[in-house]
Structures are given as structure tokens and as C-alpha cells.
Structure 1
């Protein structure tokens, strides 16, 4: 346990770990102090993200960046899966779909773009494994097509009812899970020699023993899941205080804070010229959400949800996911990056964020997806615009 204690002692960011128990105490004493809980949860997630970053780098140093990136993406997405399962059980399908779409867009654009920017500012030109990036981008494009089809068919053919959409969603979910499994088999077993990384120099820093790193990964993942759940519950109410729309909260705020642990690892890897790890985390996480998490949630909705959930997303979300996927495919095609490439990717993300934040209020109609949580349904309908379409 010495390496962990030394890291906490010498890293000022990890001193914020004191906010983790403070958050749980505050949540028990004042569960209705949503703005306070929102601020405390953000302060608690930041040091946990730092710990997860260091542990992931220690594992990646022994297993390789491809496996390390996959492990970090998987553990990071466990947090979002726990949050989504809670919302799924409560029947909050708008929040589930917003978190899925927001995580895909944020990981693909913000995490990837910021990694290129931070790494490029320190290193003139960086290289990464183009084959691995193209595989993840291709899988992500496949998932985007599967998400696009139910929405496109329902708009083009008015005869396609909810029963058709539900059956199509089940079939597409099974196909996506199979494609994700075959992708792992292809990259980690049958053709793993094609995904060996760009051959960067080894880092001189010392890494934790494998046992300590894995134990830290498991423990921190559980804590992040608990803190993130409090964050999601509080941010909906805090949004009223800070003047944020439901669309902006679901797509931007929840996705950024929920992915803080993965982002810390990706940004740290980019600064250390280990861009394979950064690209693997960003695109691997996005493709895992689209190919595995979203289909699993659709199938589980028949077991734990009040009613079946489909893969039909509102048009704005589908367009953003499609553009994000095409952007990732374009910028990762060369296997090389510089800081300006990161700026271009971030600009696409900022265009989306600005659009969601400045979305004008509706003058007529009522949203299909009027609320993010049941407790704030009326407030959001009265005070904020709808991003989700009208009846």
C-alpha cells in the first residue's frame, strides 16, 4: 500500500479525496441540498479520476496500451452503465438515451480532440496505431448506422409502429453485441499483431505493482459509480440554479463529469507521448457504449424497466452522433496528429455545446421527452426548451 499512500501524499490533486466522505455525509444529512451536492460531487470525482488514471497507466505499462485502453474504457463505462441502469429501472428513458448519445459524442470529440491538443502542445508531432483507430472508428460507424435506422424508418414510414420499432431494436441490439465481441476477438486474439502500437519509448516513471493497480481500479470504480449517482441526481436540480437546459445537462455536463476518470487517463497518456493509450480510451469507450452498453440496456429494459426501450433516438442526437463518428474517422486516418488537429475536433464539439446551451424556447407543442427526472418534470417543461422533438 506504500506506493498508493506516497502518491496521495505528493499529489495535491489527490488531497481532494477528503471530499468523498464529506459528500456521502452531506447526502445523508441534507439530501435536498442539490446545488451543494452537485459541487461536492464534482470535487470528489476529480481526485478519483486521478487515481484511476495512475492505476490504468500502471496496468498498461505491463499489458500494452491496447489492453490498457480497453480496460480503462470498460471500467469507465461501468460507471455510466450503473447510472443508466438506475434510470432504466425508474423508467427515465430520456435520461438513458441522452447519457448514451452524450457519452458517445463527448468521448469521440472532446476526449479525442483534447488529447491531440495537449499531446501536440508538448510534442511537435505524435504517432499512434492507425489500424486500431480505424477499427474502433469503423465499429462506431456501424453502431451509428444501427441507431440511425429505427429513427429514419419511423420518420419515412408512418405505418411503422411501436411494435415494429421494438422488434427491430431487439434484432439490432443482438447484432451490435455480436459485432463488438467479434471486434475484440479480431483485435486481441486472431490479428493482435496488427495492433501493437506505434512503438513509443518507454516511460521512465515508476509504476505500481499489478496487484495494487488492479485493486485500486476496482475500488475507485465503485466509488466513482456511487459519487456519479449522487451527481446525476443533484445536477438536474442544480441545472435550474445555473440556467442550463436539459439537453445541455444530458449531453454535455453529465457526459463530461461521468467520463472524468477516462479523460484523466487519456490526457495524461497524450502528454507522455503515449497517444495509443489516449486514442484507445477515447474511441474504445465510445464504441463500447454504442456497441455494448446501449444494446444491453435495450435488452434489460424488458427485465427491469416498466416498459421496453427502443434504439430510436430523437433526430438531433442521431445527427450529432453521425457527425462525431465521421469526424473521428477523418482525423484518425493518417496515424499522426498535431495540436491543430485537436483544435479542429474540439471546435466541432463546441459547436454542439453552444447549440444545446442557446437552444431557443419552444412557442408551441409539448416535448415527447419533456423531462430528465420525474421530480423536475414540471419545472423543466415550464422553464426550458425541448431538444427532443414535438408531438
Structure 2
């Protein structure tokens, strides 16, 4: 506990934790003040993400960067899952699909590119395990095919009825979850010797005990999920105030805020020359969303949703996910990175973000 207090006192960003209770107070007193709630929730998520980063690094120091990256991706994606479940119960399937596709693109391009850039500004070159990156990009490519298929079939003939689309999506969801489970078995059990860390992180940092790190991980994850619900409830109204299109909100804003915890860990790892952790979080999170979170939401829609949800995404989202997957594959094949590689990946993300920001509100 003393280590935690020392961390909070020594990091000015963590002083923003004071905004966490303010979010819940404001929600009770001014539930219609959407712009205020939006700003407060963003200010609260930032320190929570920083704290989650410190706890994840402590766990990764004991378990290795491969398991640490998987753990961070899983806990970070819990936020996206909570956001999507809230929208799923309300029948807002467009928002659900936009947040899924946006999270994949944001993790694959923004998180990966920013990690390359931040690490490259401190180190001339950095290395990471390309076998692990190749596995994650291959899983992403499989998920992209599963997303593309219902969208392509629906436009190819009259036989693509809603019943057919739902049946196909249901079958694909089961296949994707099974493939993701086999991928974990492959990387963590049967062939784990191929997925060790290639980087050498800096020594000298004070490491939290495992019990404290796990307790902080659990508590902060819950708080992030609760604050994220406030964020989702207020973001649509706040978007109108700030002049943001619905496509930009679902694809960019929700994905950035929902992935703040993972990004903090990935960026911190890159600056400490632990690029395996950064790449594992970025690509592992994207693969987990595509192969686990999205299929689980399809299955849960039959239980908690007003109607079944399918895996048919609008064409623009499919194209962006495909380009993101191809970019990740091309930039990770060598197992080395430098700052300009990060600029290259980030520019692709900026192209997508600019397009969505300027997109007319009635276009999907």
C-alpha cells in the first residue's frame, strides 16, 4: 500500500484521480449535463489508465511480457466489452459495431504506431518478437475474413436473407472463439518457446508485489468500466456540442477512451525498451476484440439484446479493418522498429480519422 501511495504522490497525472468521485457525484446531481459528464469522465479515465499501466508492468515483470501483454489486453478490453454490452441491451447495434471496428483499427494503428514512435524517439532501433506479432496479425486476418464474408454475401444476391445472415454470423462466431482459444494454447502452452521477449527492459525500477498489483488491476478495472458507462451515456450529446459526427464518435472517440488503459501500458513499455509488451498489447488486444469480444457479443445478443446481432459491418469499416491488418503485418515482419515506422503507421490512422470527422452525418 505504501508503494501505491508513493506512486500517486510522485506522479502528477495520478492526482487527477480526484475526478473519479466527481464523475459519480455529477452524474447524480446533473444527469443531463452531458458535456460536463463527458469532460469529467475523460479526465477520470486518464489517471486510472496510468495506474493500470503501473500494475500491469509489475505483473509483466513477474510473468514475462507475453503473458503480461495478454493480461493487459484482456483487462483493457473489459472496458470495451462493458461499453458494448450497454449499447447491446439498448439495441444500438450500429454503435456496437462501430466501437468494435474502431477498437480494432485504433489498437492496430494508433497504439502500435505511437509505441513505435515513442520508443524510437528514445532508442535508435528497437527489437521485438516477430513470431508473436505474426501470429496476432494472422489471427486478425482470419477475423477480417469472417467480418468481410457476411457483408459481401449480403450484396451478392437475393438469397442473403436476414435468417441466413444471422445463421452465418452465429456459425462464424463459434469458429472465431474456438480459433482464439487454440491460438492461446499454441502461444502459451505447446509452442511458448517461440514467443519469448526479444527486448531488454531497463533495470532499477521498484516493482510492486504481485498481490498489490493484482488488487490494483482488479479495482481499477472496475472503476474504468463504471466511468466508461458514464462516458458512453454522455458522449453522443457532447459530440453535438463539439461538432463531431456519429461515425467519428463511434469509431475514434469511443475506441480511444475505451483503450486508454492499454495505451498507457503500451506507451510506457515502449519508452522502457519493452517493445514486446507494447506490440503484445496492441496486436493482442485487437485480435482479442476481433476473435473473442465481437463473437461473444453476437452470442449474447440472443440473450440480452432486443434482436440477434450479426457480423455484417458497413463497407467502410471492413476496408479500414483490412487495411489496418495489412499495415500491421507489413510493419512487424522484420521484428525491428524505428521512430519513422511509427509515423508511417500513425499517418494511416490520421487519414481514417480525418475522413470520419468530415463524413456527412447521414452517411454510414
Same fold, TM-score > 0.5, yes or no:
yes
**1:312-334, Cα deviation, whole Å (9 max, x unpaired):** 00101000000000000000000
- Residue in 1 aligned with 2:299? 299
What residue ranges of structure 1 are gaps of 5+ in the alignment? 362-383
- Residue in 1 aligned with 2:362? 385
Offset at residue 214 of structure 1 (A) = 0.3
Offset at residue 86 of structure 1 (A) = 1.2
- Residue in 1 aligned with 2:97? 97
Residue 247 to residue 201, structure 1, CA distance change in 2 (3 Å): closer
**1:195-253, Cα deviation, whole Å (9 max, x unpaired):** 01104145220110000000000000000000011011111000010000000000111
Q: Residues of 2 paired with 1:89 and 1:199: CA distance?
A: 43
Q: Please list, as runs of the form range in 1=range in 2, the aligned pairs for 1:198-237 lying within 5 A after superposition.
A: 198-237=198-237
Q: Please list, as runs of the form range in 1=range in 2, the aligned pairs for 1:1-391 lying within 5 A after superposition.
A: 1-359=1-359, 361=360, 384-386=361-363, 388=364
What residue ranges of structure 2 are gaps of 5+ in the alignment? none
Structure 1 stretch 146-155 or stretch 194-203: which is displaced more? 194-203
SS in 2 for 1:205: coil
Q: Residues of 2 paired with 1:68 and 1:213: CA distance?
A: 12
Offset at residue 358 of structure 1 (A) = 1.0
**1:167-200, Cα deviation, whole Å (9 max, x unpaired):** 0001000000000000000000000000011041
SS in 1 for 2:68: helix
Q: Residues of 1 paired with 2:18 and 2:283: CA distance?
A: 32
- Residue in 2 aligned with 1:370? none
SS in 2 for 1:197: coil
SS in 2 for 1:156: coil
Q: Residues of 1 paired with 2:9 and 2:344: CA distance?
A: 38
Q: Which runs of 4+ in 1 moved over 2 A?
A: none
Are 1:203 and 1:272, in contact at CA under 8 Å, matched by a contact in 2? no
Q: Residues of 2 paired with 1:303 and 1:5: CA distance?
A: 43
Matched residue pairs, number? 364
TM-score (norm 1): 0.92
SS in 2 for 1:38: helix
TM-score (norm 2): 0.99
Residue 73 to residue 134, structure 1, CA distance change in 2 (3 Å): same
Are 1:104 and 1:289, in contact at CA under 8 Å, matched by a contact in 2? yes
